[in-house]
Chain A
């Protein structure tokens, strides 16, 4: 399952596709002196509602885990909604707390959408799961979120994705980047499915392949052989996998570019990449 598509819609965390770039908090000042300040004040952070309640205010700003926040995103269920002439107020519950989310009504858009029962607005009803993007506001010491966008959740896995992402970012700020990862990695990346370009030769290259294909590939890399590679009969005999499964695994690995045929179609060698 590809979770990256949730994130391309709103953020560059982890820079999907294995490029390894993306959001690196605190690094901005080193890599681009002029952009450092802007990174700091203009971030988008996935949070739980409990984190919003626990956010500390310093003047106009709010901090979560010591980091100043601006844009927030979270996923929750609408518990209650009330429409006023100028705005709609939703009570959103994500299991960690409930917060009021206000969205101003754009009168042109509202007129258009009211004629369309399948519109996103029409699906924002009680008990619907939604994703919210907005800013934390405080009015007479009462916190609420001013939302730019509220959209219905279509795939319920997005709820779990969000909670894991919020945890990863929380851990990034409280415990620092993952051990043993370079500056180009970040916390969010740890949770991403590695769906990017395969890294040939490494363990990562085999993600997405069947268990049999992995076994065959492992055998091909480890068994002694000439530069002609190994015949599928030999592989079948030595791994105990039946010939037709070996053939299927071979097809998978061939189409993935991990192995190539040598003297005939049934003899394969590992494609070494330096």
Chain B
């Protein structure tokens, strides 16, 4: 398991609590600025992009990244989830992962 970091699923309001950790965020791309981007995940999250992530405006994207001290997220991996994501369900998932974290992640 050593090479298998667990990536808790979070939204913008959880950033503070997960500083310095590698997390998973599903959000909608609202702004693309070359090496950075902004996604909406129950609030805006600033992303620092790598060269090989291809975000598309208004698409859902799943980010695996590290929460920096200034609460921006350094992207390690980005997966395009298209335009058909039900964000209400997605946010409900984040809620249950923290409510019943015994089956999702350990501190």
Contact = CB atoms under 8 A, between A and B. Distances in A.
Interface of A: 1, 47-48, 50-51, 53-54, 77, 93, 95-98, 127, 129, 155-157, 160-161, 163-164, 166-167, 170-171
A55 to B, nearest CB: 11
Nearest to A91: B4
A160 B104 CA distance: 13
Q: Chain B, interface size: which category?
A: 20 to 34
B97 A171 contact: no
A96 B93 contact: no
Interface in B1-52: 1, 3-4, 6-9, 24
24 contacts: A1-B86, A50-B104, A50-B106, A53-B1, A54-B103, A95-B8, A95-B105, A96-B6, A96-B104, A96-B105, A97-B4, A98-B3, A127-B79, A155-B84, A156-B62, A156-B82, A156-B84, A157-B85, A157-B86, A163-B96, A164-B89, A164-B93, A170-B100, A171-B100
Contacts of B56: none
B76 interface: no
A167 B94 CA distance: 11
A98 B79 CA distance: 17
Nearest to A169: B103
Given A156-B60, A156-B82, A160-B90, 8 more contacts: A50-B103, A50-B104, A95-B105, A97-B1, A156-B81, A157-B89, A160-B92, A167-B103
